[in-house]
C-alpha cells in the first residue's frame, strides 16, 4: 500500500532543522505484513530524544530512515501466524502500544528479566530492519530503513508482533503512545532499575519526556520526588506535577540535598555527574539517558567506595514491555499515573523538523504527532 511518512535523508544537518529540513515528508510503498508481522494504522506518535539522536548523528543509523519509535495505533492486518493465541493474542481492530525494542523471548538476553535488551531485536534495530532482517518500506523502488523496528512517523507501519503490546480501548491513543517509550523507560528506571525502598526519596536529573515519566512514576509509587533541570520552566512543571522540590544543578550542589535513588535522564555527561553527586551514601544512581558515544564523565571512585554507592546502567528502563505496560495502564486507570500530562504540544507530521529544534532546545516534554482518521 502507499503511505505518507517522515524520512530522514541525511545525518548531522545544520541547525535550525526547520530551515535545513533533513526530514522530508514522502510517499512510500509499504509491503504487506510477512509471517509474524502486523499492519498498524498509526493514531499518535511521540517525538523522542532518540529520534533527535539519529538526526544530529549522536546515534549513527543507516539513512534514508523513516523515524519515530514511540506510537500507538490500531491493527489493520495480520501476517501469517501473527495473531498468536492466549494472553498475547492479536486481532484486527485491536489498539496496540508499539515499543522500540522487540523481544524474541528466546535468546539469552531475553532471559534476563529485562536487564539486557534482546540480542535479535538489537541486531535488527542496528541494521534498520525488522526482526527477521526484512525491510517493508521503499520509495521509488529503493529500500528505506526502519527506525528501531517501528518507523512510526507515518500513517501506517508494518512491525513484528514482538514489537507491540495490546491495550484495551479505554486507553486513548495519546496515552498509549507515550507508554511505549517515555513511560517504559522513565518508569522502568525507577521501578525496575532503581527499586527505591518504601519512603525513599527519588531524584530525577533531566526533565524531558523520560525524566518527567520517572517523576510521575515515583510519585505514583508514593515516593517524595526531587526534580533537577537547567531550565526553570521544567522545574516549575515538575513541581506542578507533584515533585516536592526542584533545583537547577547549581542550586542542588549548593543545597546539599541528596536522594537514595537518582535517575539521570538527560543523556549528557554533566547530568550524570550531577546525578552521582546527588546520590546519598548507600544509594543508587540509575543512568538511562543516551549521551554521545564520545562523552566522558568524571567520577570519584572514593565517593563510591566510602559511600557504598551503586551505579546502574538501564536501557529502556530494564523493561519487559509485555509485563510492564499493563502495570502502567492499571496505574493510569486508577488515576495515579496521569501520563497525558507528559504531552506538551500536539503537532501534525509536517511540523517534524521544527519539532526536532524544539526538542534540541529543551523546550518540549513530549510533542505528540496526531494522525487524523481517514
Ligand atoms: Zn524514545
Ligand atoms: Zn531475544
Q: Got the DSSP string for 167-217?
A: E-TTS-HHHHHHIIIIIHHHHHIIIIII-PPTT--EEEE--SHHHHHHHHH
Residues 150-197 have pLDDT tens digits of: 999 999 999 999 999 999 999 999 999 999 999 999 999 999 999 999
pLDDT at 87 over 90: no
Task: For residue 217, give the nearest of 245, 192, 254, 253 by alpha carbon.
Answer: 192
Residue partners of 231: CB distance under 8 A and separation at least 6: 207, 362, 363
pTM of the model: 0.94
Q: Using an 8 Å Cβ cutoff, are 8 and 151 in contact? A: no
> Coil, strand or helix: which one is 124?
helix
Residue partners of 333: CB distance under 8 A and separation at least 6: 170, 171
Q: Using an 8 Å Cβ cutoff, are 74 and 41 in contact? A: yes
**Which residue is associated with the grid cell 542496528?**
126
> Coil, strand or helix: which one is 354?
helix
E strand or H helix that includes residue 158:
strand 156-160
pLDDT of residue 86: 87
Beta strand 23-30 with 137-139 is antiparallel
pLDDT of residue 95: 98
Residues 295-334 have pLDDT tens digits of: 999 999 999 999 999 999 999 999 999 999 999 999 999 9
Instruction: Find the mean pLDDT for residues 118-136.
Output: 95
Q: How far is the CA of 291 from the centre of ligand 2 (A)?
A: 25
Q: How far is the CA of 319 from the centre of ligand 1 (A)?
A: 13
Task: For residue 259, give the nearest of 243, 238, 282, 241 by alpha carbon.
Answer: 282
Q: How far is the CA of 27 from the centre of ligand 1 (A)?
A: 24
d(CA 129, CA 126): 8
Q: How far is the CA of 181 from the centre of ligand 1 (A)?
A: 5
**Torsion over CA of 72, 74, 78 and 83, rounded to 10 degrees?**
80
Ligand nearest to the CA of 67: 1
d(CA 41, CA 199): 42
> Coil, strand or helix: which one is 236?
helix
Q: How far is the CA of 182 from the centre of ligand 1 (A)?
A: 6
Ligand nearest to the CA of 107: 2
Task: For residue 69, give the nearest of 220, 180, 230 by alpha carbon.
Answer: 180
Let me know if domain 186-315 sits in CATH 3.90.1170.50: no
Return the bridge partners of 66, or none. Answer: 7, 146
Q: How far is the CA of 305 from the centre of ligand 1 (A)?
A: 33
Q: What confidence tier does 120 reach under pLDDT thresholds 50, 70, 90?
A: very high
Q: Using an 8 Å Cβ cutoff, are 235 and 229 in contact? A: yes
pLDDT at 374 over 70: no
Average model confidence (pLDDT) for the chain? 96
Q: How far is the CA of 239 from the centre of ligand 2 (A)?
A: 39
Q: How far is the CA of 115 from the centre of ligand 2 (A)?
A: 12
Q: Count of alpha carbons within 13 Å of 118, Cβ hemisphere only?
A: 22
Ligand nearest to the CA of 184: 1
Q: How far is the CA of 109 from the centre of ligand 2 (A)?
A: 6
Q: How far is the CA of 69 from the centre of ligand 1 (A)?
A: 6
Label residue 231 left, alpha or beta by phi (over 0 means left) and psi (-120 to 50 means alpha): beta
The boundaries of every CATH 3.90.180.10 domain in the chain are: 2-169+338-370
Outline where the chain has alpha helix (H). 17-20, 49-55, 119-127, 173-178, 184-188, 209-220, 232-240, 249-255, 269-277, 301-306, 321-333, 352-360
Residues 2-36 have pLDDT tens digits of: 999 999 999 999 999 999 999 999 999 999 999 99
pLDDT of residue 363: 86
pLDDT at 373 over 70: no
Beta strand 2-8 with 279-287 is unpaired
259-268 burial code (b ≥16 CB/10 A, e <16): bbbbbbbbbb
Architecture of domain 2-169+338-370: Alpha-Beta Complex (3.90)
Q: How far is the CA of 180 from the centre of ligand 2 (A)?
A: 18
Q: How far is the CA of 184 from the centre of ligand 2 (A)?
A: 18
Task: For residue 28, give the nearest of 49, 47, 9 by alpha carbon.
Answer: 9
Ligand nearest to the CA of 68: 1
What percent of the chain clears pLDDT 70, i.e. is strictly above it? 99
Helix/strand number for the chain, H first, E second: 12, 18
The cell numbers describing 323, all together, are 509485563
The cell numbers describing 305, all together, are 567506595
The boundaries of every CATH 3.40.50.720 domain in the chain are: 186-315
Amino acid at each position: 500500500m502507499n503511505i505518507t511518512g517522515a524520512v530522514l535523508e541525511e545525518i548531522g544537518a545544520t541547525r535550525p532543522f526547520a530551515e535545513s529540513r533533513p526530514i522530508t515528508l514522502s510517499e512510500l510503498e509499504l509491503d504487506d505484513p510477512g509471517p509474524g508481522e502486523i499492519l498498524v494504522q498509526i493514531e499518535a506518535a511521540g517525538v523522542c530524544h532518540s529520534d533527535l539522536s539519529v538526526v544530529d548523528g549522536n546515534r549513527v543509523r543507516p539513512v534514508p530512515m523513516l523515524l519515530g519509535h514511540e506510537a500507538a495505533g490500531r491493527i489493520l492486518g495480520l501476517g501469517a501466524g501473527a495473531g498468536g493465541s492466549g494472553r498475547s493474542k492479536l486481532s484486527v481492530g485491536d489498539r496496540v502500544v508499539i515499543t522500540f525494542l522487540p523481544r524474541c523471548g528466546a535468546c539469552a538476553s531475553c532471559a534476563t528479566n529485562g536487564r539486557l535488551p534482546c540480542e535479535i531485536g538489537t541486531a535488527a534495530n542496528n541494521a534498520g530492519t525488522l526482526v527477521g532482517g526484512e525491510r517493508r518500506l521503499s520509495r521509488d523502488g529503493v529500500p528505506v530503513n526502519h527506525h528501531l523496528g517501528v518507523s512510526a512517523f507515518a500513517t501506517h507501519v508494518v512491525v513484528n508482533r514482538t514489537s507491540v503490546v495490546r491495550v484495551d480501548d479505554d486507553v486513548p491513543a495519546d496515552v498509549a503512545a507515550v507508554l511505549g517509550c517515555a513511560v517504559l523507560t522513565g518508569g522502568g528506571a525507577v521501578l525496575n532499575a532503581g527499586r527505591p525502598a518504601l519512603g525513599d526519596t527519588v531524584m530525577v536529573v533531566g526533565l524531558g519526556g523520560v525524566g518527567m515519566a520517572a517523576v510521575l512514576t515515583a510519585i505514583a509509587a508514593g515516593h517524595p520526588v526531587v526534580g533537577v533541570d537547567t531550565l526553570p520552566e521544567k522545574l516549575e512543571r515538575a513541581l506542578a506535577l507533584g515533585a516536592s522540590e526542584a533545583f537547577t544543578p547549581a542550586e542542588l550542589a549548593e543545597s546539599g540535598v541528596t536522594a537514595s535513588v537518582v535517575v539521570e535522564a538527560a543523556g549528557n555527561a554533566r547530568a550524570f555527574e550531577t546525578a552521582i553527586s546527588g546520590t546519598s551514601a548507600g544509594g543508587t544512581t540509575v543512568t538511562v539517558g543516551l549521551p554521545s558515544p564520545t562523552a566522558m564523565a568524571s567520577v570519584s571512585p572514593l565517593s563510591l567506595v566510602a559511600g557504598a554507592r551503586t551505579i546502574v546502567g538501564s536501557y529502556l528502563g530494564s523493561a519487559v514491555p509485555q509485563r510492564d505496560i499493563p502495570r502502567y495502564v492499571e496505574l493510569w486507570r486508577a488515576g495515579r499515573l496521569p501520563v497525558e500530562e507528559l504531552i506538551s504540544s500536539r503537532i501534525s507530521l509536517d511540523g517534524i523538523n521544527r519539532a526536532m529544534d524544539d526538542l534540541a532546545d529543551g523546550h518540549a516534554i513530549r510533542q505528540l504527532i496526531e494522525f487524523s482518521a481517514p
